[in-house]
Structure 1
Amino acid sequence: MTSVCAVLITAPDAEWLTSFVRGLVSDRLCAVAHVSPIQSIYRWNGEVHDTSEALATLRTVKDRVPEIIARTRSEHPYEVPSIIAIPIYDATDAYRAWIIEQVSPE
């Protein structure tokens, strides 16, 4: 069975992230992307930061994750972008099939 997963990517603003994930969907690297505003509190270069960012939650298949990571590293404005993949352990059969269909070559 094809493994489906969620990929989370943060970015400095929703406009950049929306444009970026639109390209991922267009290129069939993910089936869908949800972009939301978030507040991030993190330590970077010895200081605690509290900033507004955006979060994209993608749905894709495990085999597409390396391509998503490579593109994110190449295009992302951050020196160290936050990008993680999380397995989806359970989903309806119809939703799982839809994800797989959307990322399959035409």
Structure 2
Amino acid sequence: MTPYIQVVTTVADRTVAERLAAHLLEQRLAACVQITPCTSWYRWQGAIEQGEEMVCTVKSRRDLFPELCRAVRALHPYEVPEILASPVVDGGESYLHWLEQELRPAKED
């Protein structure tokens, strides 16, 4: 298992997605943010809703998750934002090396 994660969140429009991506990249909490459109169906306050959203898939590292999560919450317009992290079990050596170089340096214990 690698120390890397993919974090997913959804937002209502491309403008918010791009603002979030830019902030995470500027802060070096993400090496890459992929933005793709989707249709979401969900239950909210007792009713079934659906809407067009943008999925932001963030490439990062596990130790950066608490700060990344705080940054997403601070910029996110939803009352209850989706913020889900999945481990990256393995990956191409050159990609993982690039990923590490683009993130904040890991803190030494």
TM-score (norm 1): 0.93
In the alignment, which residue of structure 1 is the partner of 2:37?
37
- Paired amino acid for 2:53: E
Runs of 4+ in 1 over 3 A off after TM superposition: none
Alpha-carbon distance in structure 1 between the residues aligned to 2:24 and 2:70 = 12
In the alignment, which residue of structure 1 is the partner of 2:92?
92
Q: Secondary structure at the match of 1:94?
A: helix
Alpha-carbon distance in structure 1 between the residues aligned to 2:24 and 2:18 = 10
Which residues of structure 2 form unaligned runs of 5+? none
Percent of matched pairs sharing the same residue: 32
In the alignment, which residue of structure 2 is the partner of 1:13?
13
Which residues of structure 1 form unaligned runs of 5+? none
1:37-62 C-alpha deviation (Å, 9 max, x unpaired): 11000000000001001100011111
Alpha-carbon distance in structure 2 between the residues aligned to 1:26 and 1:60 = 13
State the aligned residue count: 105
Instruction: Determine whether 1:80 maps to 2:80.
Output: yes
Alpha-carbon distance in structure 1 between the residues aligned to 2:104 and 2:47 = 43
